Amino acid sequence: AIKGFIFDLDGVIADTSVYHAQAWHQLADELGVTWTAELADNLKGVSRMDSLELILKAGNLTDAYTPAEKEAYATKKNTNYLALLKNMDASAILPGIQAFLDDLVAHNYQLALASASKNSPLVLEQLGLAGYFSERVDPTKLKRGKPDPEIFTRGAELLNLPPAACIGVEDAKAGVEAINAAGELSIGIGDPTILGAAAINFNDTSELTLANIEQALN
């Protein structure tokens, strides 16, 4: 039986994936790299440095910059991102998420956070949701990012649960792949043509309820 839920943050709990995309778009323009919807989708769930590498690759610029220059560009993106986060509050919690979290707590499910973002503590604080997530995987301690299963495997370990007793919730293709590879049940939030590998797919977070999950599993 399912005993735990492991959540992605950006694009699942918080409406921040648009801010990440906006900040990367700004940097891509500066680098002369064409911004496309496909590139935006491929960056979801991917760490800051890996995201920069994907943008450079899209512009055939992989070898154009030194590690120090890359570091500076990644920092620049984060500065852009933090500026966009400045006025964010609980209104950026995605539809139905607060109610779903309350319902999970009421039904004694255990919760963990599996966000690749180094800014996740700040985001959770600003949304007023920090209290729901005492268990968080530290992304700075990971050897490999999504789609590697490590972050979701660690999430189950933090909950002292076998992977098969956990549901992972993701908005990113790389994230759904990570959940599946960890041996957990995947819920993909978003376009089913992109998240086709998810065990359960919902178009948006408002559909994320225990009743809908039970129905999808039967």
Q: Convert residues 81-120 into a mask of x (bound to ligand B16 by CB under 6 A) and - (unbound).
A: ----------------------------------xxxxx-
Closer to Mg ion by CB, 80 or 117: give it.
Answer: 117
Cα distance between residue 135 and residue 105, in whole Å:
14
Only one of the segments 18-26, 40-48, 185-193, 204-212 lies at the binding site for Mg ion (rule: CB under 5 A); that segment is 40-48
15 binds Mg ion (CB under 5 A): no
List 6, 7, 8, 120, residue binding Mg ion (CB under 5 A) = 8
Cα distance between residue 174 and residue 52, in whole Å:
16
| CB atoms closer than 10 angstroms to residue 162 | 13
10 catalytic? Reply is yes
Cα distance between residue 55 and residue 105, in whole Å:
39
Long-range CB pairs of 72-76 (<8 Å, 24+ gap) are 73/27, 73/31, 74/48, 74/49, 76/27
List 4, 5, 6, 11, residue binding ligand B16 (CB under 6 A) = 11
Only one of the segments 47-55, 65-73, 85-93, 207-215 lies at the binding site for ligand B16 (rule: CB under 6 A); that segment is 47-55
Closer to ligand B16 by CB, 4 or 190: give it.
Answer: 190
Q: Residue 192, SS3?
A: coil
Which run of H or E residues covers position 189? Answer: strand 185-189
67 upstream amide cis, omega within 30 of 0: no
204 catalytic? Reply is no
Q: Convert residues 160-179 into a mask of x (bound to ligand B16 by CB under 6 A) and - (unbound).
A: ------------x-------
Closer to Mg ion by CB, 160 or 184: give it.
Answer: 184
Residues belonging to the chain: 218
144 binds ligand B16 (CB under 6 A): no
Mark out the alpha helices in 107-160 (DSSP H runs).
120-127, 150-158
Interface residues toward ligand B16, by CB under 6 A: 8-11, 17, 20, 43-48, 51, 78, 115-119, 172
State the catalytic residues: 8, 10
Interface residues toward Mg ion, by CB under 5 A: 8, 10-11, 45, 171-172
